[in-house]
Amino acid sequence: MRILVIEDDDVLADTIAVGLRQAQMAVDIALDGPTGLDRALLNDYDVIVLDRDLPGLHGDEICAKLIAAGCRSRILMLTAAASMDELVDGLGLGADDYLPKPFDFPVLIARIGALFRRAQPAIPPVLRRHDVTVDTAQRRAWRSGQRLDLTPKEFGVLELLLAAQGRAVSAEELLERVWDEATDPFTKAVKITVSRLRAKLGAPPIIQTVAKSGYRI
């Protein structure tokens, strides 16, 4: 799951990013409105956490521009003053959810997870294929009933492969959806992560390499 946090308070933005990464998510940060809009339009994020009061470009304008551009990312708006009018305004612009500050971090995690599961096509809360199970809400995975000890990147790759329902997922798509923008596009990180994931999944092997297409389960 790849998240963009658009928040001008750098301490809060970093705190959110650290917490989301601990929850096995890839996170990019933008500290002002124009930068946030550019990144949101450039990359395919699953969820955008969008502060409403931003320098350079108001969160409402960003939300409206993203919807007008056909952006498919789910948008969770944040605000320091959550009146009913603001909530209605934010949702009316096309935001998918609204969270007032201050918020409890587990609530933020739960809201992001719920929005991710509402992505198109819809992603169920529990993914299963063969004897592998992934709980997308609790961020846990099992094979044959045994809990898998996965890194955030390994979990993200497994989650996307299961969600693809047998479709081959390219290395480029995995890199875009599981890693953040700081990753070298020519890295071998995907190949290495898939290799380690295969080892942890054990026998019989279930991740197939599809020539010129990527990987599939």
111, 132, 175, 184 from 38: Cα distances, Å: 24, 37, 19, 19
Q: What is the pTM of this model?
A: 0.65
Query: Angle at Cα 18 formed by Cα 10 and Cα 66, nearest 5°?
Result: 65
CATH topology of domain 2-117: Rossmann fold (3.40.50)
Residue 159: CB atoms within 10 A of its CB come to 23
Q: What is the mean pLDDT of residues 86-100?
A: 71
The token duo for 211 is: 């020539």
Architecture in CATH for domain 126-216: Orthogonal Bundle (1.10)
Nearest to residue 15, comparing CAs of 139, 111, 115, 102?
Answer: 102
Mark residue 18 as left, alpha or beta (left: phi above 0; alpha: psi -120 to 50; beta: remaining): alpha
Q: What is the mean pLDDT of residues 57-61?
A: 90
Domain ranges within the chain, ordered by starting residue: 2-117, 126-216
Residue in the structure block whose two tokens are 């969160």: 59
Contact 24, 53 (CB under 8 A): no
pLDDT above 70 (res 120): no
pLDDT confidence of residue 133: 93
Residue 182 confidence class, pLDDT cut points 50, 70, 90: low
Q: What is the mean pLDDT of residues 121-128?
A: 75
The token duo for 39 is: 């990144």
Q: What is the mean pLDDT of residues 53-72?
A: 88
Residues of the chain above pLDDT 90, percent: 39
17, 25, 125, 213 from 13: Cα distances, Å: 6, 14, 27, 36
